[in-house]
């Protein structure tokens, strides 16, 4: 039984490390674009979802990704049968688990078209 718990803990740790590695790759990827022309970026990633102009004359390119995952779920349990007793059958409740993932990528571009900085917001910003 103890070996089983060790295996479960090991798997959870590997999943956690994998999440960190993908976020590090995300940061590394977009850090590498700073100093490059926005036209090269749009040639590779496509046009932004929106743009807006800052008071300093720079343009912000916004890329947005949203995903909604819906998976059926079952919740087994024992049914209640009044007066403090339980009946001998198994009840099953059906439902849906919904997971919402999003990421907004912001690229600030100067008047010459050079990416000067970037930022992101959301719960799913990784490659």
Q: What is the pLDDT of residues 81-102, one digit of tens each?
A: 555 555 555 555 666 778 888 9
Quickly state the pLDDT bin for 71 (edges 50, 70, 90). confident
Please tell me the predicted confidence (pLDDT) of residue 18: 44
Say whether pLDDT at 38 is over 90.
yes
Burial class (CB in 10 A: 0-12, 13-18, 19+), 91: exposed
Question: pLDDT above 70 covers what percent of the chain?
Answer: 65
Q: What confidence score (pLDDT) does residue 67 get? A: 86
Give the distance between the most distant pair of CA atoms in the chain: 77
- Domain segments of the chain as ranges: 2-122
Question: CA-to-CA distance for 76 and 115, rounded, in angstroms?
Answer: 53
| Separation of alpha carbons 95 and 85, rounded Å | 26
Q: E strands along the chain, which residues?
A: 50-53, 59-80, 86-109, 115-122
Tally of CB atoms within 10 A around 39: 9
pLDDT band at 119 (very low <50, low <70, confident <90, very high): very high
């Amino acid at each position: 039984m103890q070996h089983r718990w060790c295996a479960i803990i090991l798997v959870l740790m590997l999943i956690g490390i994998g999440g960190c590695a993908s976020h590090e790759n995300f940061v590394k990827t977009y850090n590498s674009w700073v100093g490059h022309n926005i036209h090269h970026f749009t040639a590779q990633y496509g046009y932004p979802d929106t743009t807006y102009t800052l008071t300093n004359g720079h343009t912000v390119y916004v890329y947005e990704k949203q995903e909604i995952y819906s998976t059926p779920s079952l919740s087994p349990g024992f049914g209640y049968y009044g007066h403090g007793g339980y009946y001998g059958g198994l009840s099953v409740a059906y439902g849906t688990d919904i997971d919402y993932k999003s990421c907004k990528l912001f690229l600030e571009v100067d008047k010459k078209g050079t990416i000067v900085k970037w930022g992101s917001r959301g719960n799913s910003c990784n490659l």
